[in-house]
Amino acid sequence: MSKFLRYFKVGEVFVYFIRVFKKHDPRYPINQNIRIMHGINRISIVMFLICLVVIFVRRCT
């Protein structure tokens, strides 16, 4: 049972969401490719959350 529950941990997912949306730390250098990658990740996360809301609303109505 513990192996089964280990696959459904979502804490790491929320940590990633927080890390993607927080402000960049100036101590670490960042190049243009990393900046673009994080921007695309932000867009995809927002689109995913919007789709979850749409699916939820459609199911409820």
> What's the pLDDT band for 29 if we cut at 50, 70, 90?
confident
Q: What is the pTM of this model?
A: 0.62
- Indicate the residue type of 28: Y
Residue-by-residue DSSP string for 31-46: -HHHHHHHHHHHHHHH
Which helix H or strand E contains 28, and what residues bound it? Answer: none
**Average pLDDT estimate for 10-36:** 76
Q: Which domain, by its residues, includes 35?
A: 8-60
| 1 SS3 class | coil
How far is the C-alpha of 56 from the C-alpha of 2, rounded, in Å? 29
35 assigned to some structural domain: yes
Predicted local distance difference test score (pLDDT) of residue 31: 83
Residue 47 lies in a domain: yes
pLDDT of residue 47: 94
In a domain, 33, yes or no: yes
Q: Is the dihedral of CA 10, 11, 16, 17 positive or negative?
A: positive
Total domain count for the chain?
A: 1
pLDDT at 56: 93
Domain contains 2: no
Q: Which pLDDT does position 59 carry in this prediction?
A: 94
